[in-house]
Structure 1
Amino acid sequence: MNGTVTVLDKGAVRIHSYMSSADTFHATTQLIETPARLVAVDAQLLPAYADEVVAYAKGLGKPLDRLIVTHAHPDHYNGAARFGVPVHALAEVREQITARGDSQLPTGLIIPVADFTPTVDIVSGTEVIDGVPFVFKAVSGGEAADELLIKLPQQGVVIAQDLVYNDVHLYLGNNDITGWQQAVDALAADPGYDTILAGHGLPTGPEIYEEVRRYLADARELLGDDGDAYKKAIVDRYPSYVGPFLIDIANRSLFGAGH
């Protein structure tokens, strides 16, 4: 297996957090194991890594119930077809995925949009899945235009996905540092959760909120009108972080095609 899996025992629920290797900036898929089934959250950039998740899930001996896609970035939905289950997402996220159209992998392979378009809309509120309450909340602004936040209140787990990165450079291409700061502040203001699942990086605790805040504040300070200068400055400040090429991808949105 190229990726790594971290298992967290939460009583009636076990979390299996799959993290891809650094070549896809430690993107995560969360497998939520309830007493009788599995719920997957996010689907990887490369289908090969989605295949690793699916193979691991089969080894758990429980049926995969659904795949939830949290937001419209390809590193979270490209591999959706490999899961072979209904794809759930916010209606806004479904519309944004459809608008982006087919996805092209770094190898040049095209994945048709029909392969990963969500078919079941999620609305904010609580859904009980196999006896476990899942709290769904739509978040606007930040890393993506719209993003799904999931909480498991009985287990003290926040499935934050790309509202939180852990030791990975942040993707700022949505150009909304303020919105991201507000989203993190809202998460930090809810104290009943001790396990935070990141969209990039290993599972962590509430201390990650201050780490993300610090990075966002540094980015605001350093982000001028020169993408190359920004990349050098932020990498110098966070030399141990994975995925500096995420900065390159974001810079193309922030500064134009020359970056």
Structure 2
Amino acid sequence: MKGKVTVISKGPVTVHSYQAPADGLEVTTQLIETPKRIIAIDGQYKLEYADEVVAYAKGLGKPIDRLIISHAHPDHFLGAARFGAPIFALRETRAAIAAMADLKDPSGREVRIDDVLPTETVILGTDLVDGIPLSFEHLHGGEIADSLIIALPEHRILIAQVVSNRVHLWVADRDFAGWKANIERLVNRRYETILPGHGEPTDRTVWRELYDYLDVAGDFAGYDGATYKAKMIERFPGWTGVEIIDIANALHPAP
């Protein structure tokens, strides 16, 4: 396996957090294992790594009940069809994906949008899965206009795929106020384990680190892309995922 899996067990629930290598932007897929099934969160960027996740999930001996797409960035859904399960998302996320043309994964393999388009709508609020409460909440702004977070409140686990753990953030929309508002919305809740969309599982310290990162990113946001990249690497030398900055710079070149 080229990716790595961190396993977090809390009573009847086990979460398997798969993190792709650097050429997959260290994006994560979370596998929530309940007594009878597996619920997958996000479908990977590189199809090779989606296949790794699916093979790992099959090894658990339980069916993949559904795949939930947290938001409409391709690194979180290009491998969705590989899971062979119903695809769920927010209505807004489905619309954003539907508006895209066909894409390619980092290795150049073609992905038809129709193949990864969510067909089911996530119902916000709390749902019981095998008797275990899962909470679904809509976030607005920050990394992207619409995103979904999933919590296991009884186990104090938060799955926030728009959060990164010491992996450079996607700030192409320059919505620093939205980012901070979402952090402030979550920071006082009682979650002990935070499962991010990029990087390893972490804890509540991630909120302070993200807030500090956004302060610095906001200060340098007016620079050209190359200067912004250099300054962020200098200020956060231990952070990985510089490729995320490169992709943002390529999509939004300096005038």
Smaller-chain TM-score bracket = over 0.9
| Aligned sequence identity (%) | 48
Equivalent AA in structure 1 for residue 232 of structure 2: I
1:110 paired with 2:110, answer yes
Selected match of 1:215 from 210, 213, 216 = 213
Distance 1:79 1:253 in 2: 21
Equivalent AA in structure 2 for residue 175 of structure 1: R
Distance 2:53 2:134 in 1: 21
1:173 paired with 2:172, answer yes
The 8 Å contact of residues 225 and 255 in structure 1, kept in 2 or not, is answered as no
Deviation of residue 76 (structure 1)?
0.5
Equivalent AA in structure 2 for residue 118 of structure 1: P
Could you tell me which residue of structure 2 aligns to residue 40 of structure 1? 40
Deviations 1:37-67 (A, max 9, x none): 1000001001110100000001111111000
Distance 2:250 2:57 in 1: 36
Distance 1:254 1:210 in 2: 28
Matches within 5 A, 1:151-230: 151-162=151-162, 164-190=163-189, 192-230=190-228
For 2:191, what is the secondary structure of its paired residue?
coil
Could you tell me which residue of structure 2 aligns to residue 146 of structure 1? 146
1:135 paired with 2:132, answer no
Distance 2:155 2:106 in 1: 38
Could you tell me which residue of structure 2 aligns to residue 70 of structure 1? 70
Unmatched 5+ stretches in structure 1: none
Show structure 1 runs of 4+ deviating over 3 A. 252-256
With normalisation by structure 1, the TM-score equals 0.95
Equivalent AA in structure 1 for residue 69 of structure 2: V
Deviations 1:194-222 (A, max 9, x none): 00000000000011000110100110112
The 8 Å contact of residues 45 and 106 in structure 2, kept in 1 or not, is answered as no
* Count of residue correspondences: 255
For 1:147, what is the secondary structure of its paired residue?
strand
Deviation of residue 253 (structure 1)?
4.1
Deviations 1:146-201 (A, max 9, x none): 00011110110000111x101111111122111011111111021x2100000000
Could you tell me which residue of structure 2 aligns to residue 23 of structure 1? 23
Distance 2:63 2:108 in 1: 33
